[in-house]
């Protein structure tokens, strides 16, 4: 299992680097595909991934991404409202085929997966985006690694004993500190290229710390949904890791927060 996870991790890292380095249309198309897969995984948990309700969700994701690509963010907001109305129409016209919680999950899935993941593209498109976009993954995966190491060495107090018995408060603090430290180092190394901030090192350290906190919330949120529905993994796309949502659970929620903080601080 270790070697399977290692091979999958290496391949995933290569694909991630490829998309982030190229950026532009390649990154955009890659994120749209990832969003579709992630939505399908979530919709499968709620039992409607191959139904009319699911199809409406996938089409809505494509429409939302088209508006993002055209830089029509305001229209994208109204598009979400239209999507909600279409979902209600499907719910009423096909009643009692779908349950109310499935309709709510269809809307939640679009926002939670497609909309949040799209912020990776939005960060990449901004000033210094070619360097700042990496911070999303530094915060998420760096925090996860540091939290694991600190938790193994020092973990005594359970963070969420029912939801995730192996996670500790000490590990959580270590993950946040580790993400901040990595952000600081990253800011020092690439300070000449990160022109959006007056003090890149301090700004990225702060973003790293906040991102570390948010990424753990995202991780636990994805775990909570699985536990509610007695699901071990969201999918089998990534051998040894599960599905897209199993690997990107922390990245999903970190991306929009870092985008907003970057715009505020910059």
Q: Tell me the per-residue pLDDT of 199-223, one tens digit each, with 9 for 90 and over.
A: 999 999 999 999 999 999 998 999 8
C-alpha–C-alpha distance, residues 52 and 47, integer Å: 12
The pLDDT of residue 159 is: 85
- Cα 86 to chain centroid distance, Å, stands at 25
Any idea where the domains of the chain sit in the sequence? 1-125, 128-266
- Cβ atoms within 10 A of the Cβ of 94, count? 12
Start-to-end CA span in the chain (Å): 43
Identify the segments of the chain with pLDDT beneath 50.
none
Please answer whether residues 218 and 116 qualify as being in contact, where contact means their C-beta atoms are separated by less than 8 angstroms. no
What pTM, to 2 d.p., does this model score? Answer: 0.93
The pLDDT of residue 19 is: 93
Phi, psi of 115 (to 5 degrees): -65, -50
pLDDT, tens digit, for every residue of 24-73? Answer: 999 999 999 999 999 999 999 999 999 999 999 999 999 999 999 999 88
Please answer whether residues 237 and 15 qualify as being in contact, where contact means their C-beta atoms are separated by less than 8 angstroms. no
């Amino acid at each position: 299992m270790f070697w399977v996870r290692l091979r999958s991790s290496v391949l995933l890292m290569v694909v991630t680097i490829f998309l982030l380095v190229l950026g532009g249309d390649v990154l955009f198309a890659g994120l749209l595909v990832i969003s579709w897969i992630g939505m399908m995984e979530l919709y499968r948990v709620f039992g409607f991934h191959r139904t009319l309700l699911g199809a409406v969700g996938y089409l809505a994701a494509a429409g939302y991404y088209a508006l993002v690509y055209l830089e029509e963010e305001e229209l994208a907001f109204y598009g979400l409202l239209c999507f909600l109305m279409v979902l209600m129409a499907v719910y009423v016209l096909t009643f009692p085929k779908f349950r109310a919680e499935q309709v709510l999950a269809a809307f939640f899935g679009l926002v939670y997966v497609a909309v949040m993941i799209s912020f990776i593209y939005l960060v990449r498109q901004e000033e210094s985006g070619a360097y700042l976009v990496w911070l999303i993954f530094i915060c998420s995966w760096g925090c996860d690694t540091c939290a694991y190491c600190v938790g193994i060495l020092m973990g005594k107090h359970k963070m969420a004993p029912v939801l995730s018995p192996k996670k500790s408060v000490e590990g959580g603090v270590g993950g946040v500190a580790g993400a901040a430290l990595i952000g600081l180092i990253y800011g020092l190394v690439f300070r000449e290229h990160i022109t959006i901030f007056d003090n890149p090192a301090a700004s990225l350290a702060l973003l790293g710390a906040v991102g570390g906190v948010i990424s753990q919330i995202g991780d636990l949120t994805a775990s909570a949904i699985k536990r509610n529905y007695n699901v071990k993994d969201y999918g089998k796309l990534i051998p040894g890791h599960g599905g897209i949502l199993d690997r990107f659970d922390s990245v999903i929620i970190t991306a929009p927060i870092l985008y907003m903080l970057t715009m505020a601080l910059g």
